[in-house]
Chains A and B, each alone.
Chain A
Amino acid sequence: MTLLSARNLTVEINAVPIVDGIDLDLASGEALGIVGESGSGKTMTALALIGLTPPAATIRADTLTIAGNDVLALDPRQRRALGGSVMSMVFQDPMTGLNPVRSIGSLLIEAIRRHQTIDAARARQLGLQALADVGIPDPVARFSAYPHELSGGMRQRVMIALALVNRPALIIADEPTTALDATIQAQILELMRARMRDAALILITHDLGVAAELCGRIAVMYHGRIVEEAPVADLLARPAHPYTCGLLTAVPRFDPARPRLMPIPGAPLPASERLPGCAFAPRCPRARDICRAQVPALAEIASGRKVACHFPEAVA
């Protein structure tokens, strides 16, 4: 069943398209990774879906439906009501994602009672259960704690508890483990894998490895557009877009030979700059005249595989 469908989703800030006409489809329970570097538009995509874009942003789309709601037709109050119940968000930095002057318990009770008509005692019970479910030791003691009294890892667990507490159909997580230490990142990834089974997930990350652990499908964004979309194993084994290929060969992996890394030359084009052709062409080893003249459309090259490139790698 389709949970989310976006056609030609565009987010502009001061007439600069940060997200430039992307299509997204997500089935119930599916996990999609949106991978990109800074400035690729991945975070703005997430904010547009959840309805938290900055005031200067304009969102347009041919269609944007989430759980049967025509999102762009809703008034702000109805739009807000979707947040927390139908979908919820986990942010990168749990210190800014949690209100610092509210106790963990009051944040949870407020979130629960905003969407469920139950009394305070029952809400407290649900809140304590939510903390236990995300592996927080001694939930009763943590209930009256404030965010700053918890470690980064514990705060991220609280944020995940808040995101899950109303059993949303969709969770959007923006770099949920980036700010955490390696061993804590491992814990949070395990937790997300175990606890987010029922909900669909959109994971925003710069790390293909993290996306590969949690997601079945990955969309790679560059300069506001999706340049490649594929099932995770296919994408990692046989990337089709030269940018995806470059991302995979640029990272060091454990190899005793320590081969010289193969960086992608140059730097990403700023969002405010437009090219007549492919935005990746200035950095692309395979670029030819047509790449500099004509933007390649995202086209299906094999079952479940899409790429926006005039000269993609063979994937069959």
Chain B
Amino acid sequence: MSALLQVRDLSVTFPVGHGTLQAVDSVSFDLARGETLGLVGESGSGKSTLAFALMRAHPIASGSIAFDGHDTVALSGGALKSLRRRMQMVFQNPYASLDPRMTIHRILAEPLVAHGVSKQDHGEIIAQMLRRVGLSDEAAGRYPGQFSGGQRQRIAIARALVLRPEILILDEPVSALDVSIQAQVINLLRDLQAEFKIAYLVIAHDLPLIHQISDRIAVLYLGRIVETASADAIVRQPQHPYTAALLSASPARDPSERRERIVLKGEPPSPIRRPSGCAFHPRCPIATDRCTVETPMLAEAATGHSVACHYPGRIKSPIAL
């Protein structure tokens, strides 16, 4: 399986006051064709910044992004535009991401116009895509305000798919939706992936949800990947204490799932004042003096399972799988 997207040592910085804020710090990962990678992290972990950097919507400080073997960091103009045709994004809030004054037809036609698809084909492409996401053809003549949250997210997905991209970046795609609607959209995303063989990069905070849809999961803390493995391995054998704490923090949904909660001290530190050594050490239940001075590197603990921790696997999974 050759990687469709190959990210190496990617860093994104922002100027703040007299210094710089390192929002994404030497992140590396691969995404294969048709695969789903889940990115988990809390506010300030850099997960959304990473998504924007991949879309080339944020300047990149250093590192490389290769799409289908071609470096995208140096792209501009027409070449950047054709990259974006192959890589699209769906945002969290379908109330904010659709222009309320545009008809659904215009919303879906916009990417087609931007990429020079012949106007006489628009009607057919749009009608097909609307049906494919579970809406009727008549939706094309209506406005976003006439649709529920779940329907709007279907429209946003349809817009992202009209150009048949190879990668779809989904930033919290269902967290703005009601519980009873979330499952509809998740099932739709799974069906579309099977049909179009799209690779998904899904950003979410809900671990059961990420586990449900991802082949692999990467856990981000303060701009760095602290653990990455197959979705099942992350849940069964988390190696990083932060991953274990995140797993234990998701509220159990039935009594048989009751688990011991690992309550972390304090709050995620600001990336402006990154703690020395392992950035997680001030909150870590098993940190030692070594962790306060020596930064752990991401290293393979088992095949396909990497972790950045001096004491991997010390905290067992709170989840019985």
Contact = CB atoms under 8 A, between A and B. Distances in A.
B235 interface: yes
A277 B60 CA distance: 58
Contacts of A187: 263-264
Interface range on chain B (Cβ under 8 Å from partner): 35 or more
B281 to A, nearest CB: 15
A181 B253 contact: no
Contacts of B20: none
B125 interface: no
Nearest to B232: A256
Given A182-B249, A262-B183, A267-B181, A236 B255 contact: yes
Interface string B185-203: 0110010000000000000
Interface in B176-232: 178-184, 186-187, 190, 205-209, 211-212, 232
A315 interface: no
A151 B184 CA distance: 34
B250 A258 contact: no
Contacts of B205: 181-182
Given A247-B180, A254-B319, A237 B252 contact: no
B252 A212 contact: yes
Contacts of A268: 178, 180
B300 interface: no
Contacts of B148: 267
B178 A254 contact: no
Interface stretch (A8-16, A99-107, A108-116, A202-210): A202-210
A183 B253 CA distance: 17
A181 B187 contact: no
A265 B232 CA distance: 29
B251 A210 contact: yes
The prevalent SS among residues of B at the interface is: helix
Interface in B226-256: 232, 235, 245-246, 248-255
Interface residues of A, number: 44
A261 B178 contact: no
Contacts of B42: 181-184
A187 to B, nearest CB: 6
A254 B190 contact: no
Interface string B91-126: 000000000000000000000000000000000000
29 contacts: A38-B178, A154-B267, A182-B42, A182-B246, A182-B249, A183-B263, A184-B267, A186-B245, A187-B264, A206-B179, A208-B253, A209-B253, A233-B255, A236-B253, A247-B179, A250-B180, A251-B253, A254-B208, A254-B211, A254-B321, A255-B212, A256-B232, A258-B212, A262-B183, A263-B183, A264-B181, A264-B183, A265-B184, A283-B180
Pairs of residues from A and B, 10 with the lowest C-beta to C-beta distance, nearest first: A209-B251, A263-B183, A252-B212, A261-B183, A181-B42, A264-B180, A37-B178, A186-B249, A263-B184, A250-B183
